[in-house]
Amino acid sequence: MRIVVTGAAGFIGSNIVQGLNARGINDIIAVDDLTQGDKFRNLADLRIADYVDADAFYELFAEGAFGKVEAVFHEGACSDTMETDGKYMMVNNYTLSCDLFNACQERGARLLYASSAATYGGSDSFREAPEFEKPLNVYGYSKLLFDQRMRLECGPEFTRMKKQVAGFRYFNAYGPREQHKGRMASVAFHQFNQLNAEGKVKLFGEYGGYGAGQQMRDFVFVDDVVAVNLWFFDHPAKSGIFNVGSGHAQPFNDVALSVVNSMRGDLPKLGLADAVAGGLIEYVAFPEALRGKYQCYTQADLTALRVVGCEHPFDNVQTGIAKYVHRLSTA
């Protein structure tokens, strides 16, 4: 069984390759752009059949150069929410994805692709429906436009395509193999390194009607993201667009406190007030560059996911961060 993973050296892509390897699936075509050479580390301990540069892959795949492919996990994208080059974003996240969809349908391959919770943007409801889709940046718009194209091509109930098409609106994912992402790495990753380097973690102060560190997101551990992808891989009759988050919003304070307590090892767990008083958590002014472009609250509505039968249980912040810190500490 041959599988393609685009963005295979990236955060979620490499974790999906690892998840496939754990099932004994090694006939994997890994697609990426290794201009940022350090990303090779995400593939070095994994088993793949071949590596293809992203610039060459899409045309070759459309021509059938890789033979029979069962499924494509399409994680390749520009995921920098601060990127302002709209032309670059649309080519990478929309045009290439449309070409890939057409090629998958032509070649009989299933398409499981990464969308994003950024499609909701300024909304205060997070259900997979057009009335709640209000992107705040061109990244979110590029992801939304491809979702809209899939609704058009596949029909509102996703019944008009030849092979499975499933899109996943990832919420705030965190976990191993994100070290290459720089400023776009998760807050948990940055806080782990801040605590090691400076003895404290930093959070945004008051903004958007939320107190210091009280802005809330749906944080989802990457192991859970992989599990949902593989559930759909196991259920080829299930198609559509689905939220992938824990289903529970938690404040950034919870993340910071979980990082602090996980790194304290066997020492007594601290409460938030004690961590702040002890200088382990520090609040900084909200950056001007993010004003008007920042989601202060997200929470995945998992109704659609549950309706199709995916009952995967998600880790909360406390449990997921503890697992992540352990892996970071032993890497």
- Which residue's entry shows tokens 């109930």? 157
| Angle at alpha carbon of residue 37, lines to 140 and 80, rounded to 5° | 15
Tokens of 110: 């299933």
Q: How far is CA 110 from the centre of its chain?
A: 20
Run of H or E including 111: strand 110-116
Catalytic hit among 58, 94, 139, 324: 139
- Which residue's entry shows tokens 């993973």? 5
Task: Compute φ and ψ for 202, nearest 5 degrees.
Answer: -115, 140
**CB distance 170 to 220 below 8 Å:** yes
**CB distance 84 to 138 below 8 Å:** yes
Output DSSP code: residue 92.
Answer: I
| Helix-strand-coil split of the chain, %, nearest 5 | 45, 20, 40
Residue 51: active-site member? no
Catalytic hit among 134, 163, 181, 293: 181
Calpha distance 9→52 (Å, rounded): 11
Task: Compute φ and ψ for 207, nearest 5 degrees.
Answer: -165, 145
Calpha distance 113→142 (Å, rounded): 13
Residue 39: active-site member? no
**CB distance 54 to 32 below 8 Å:** yes
Active site residues: 139, 181
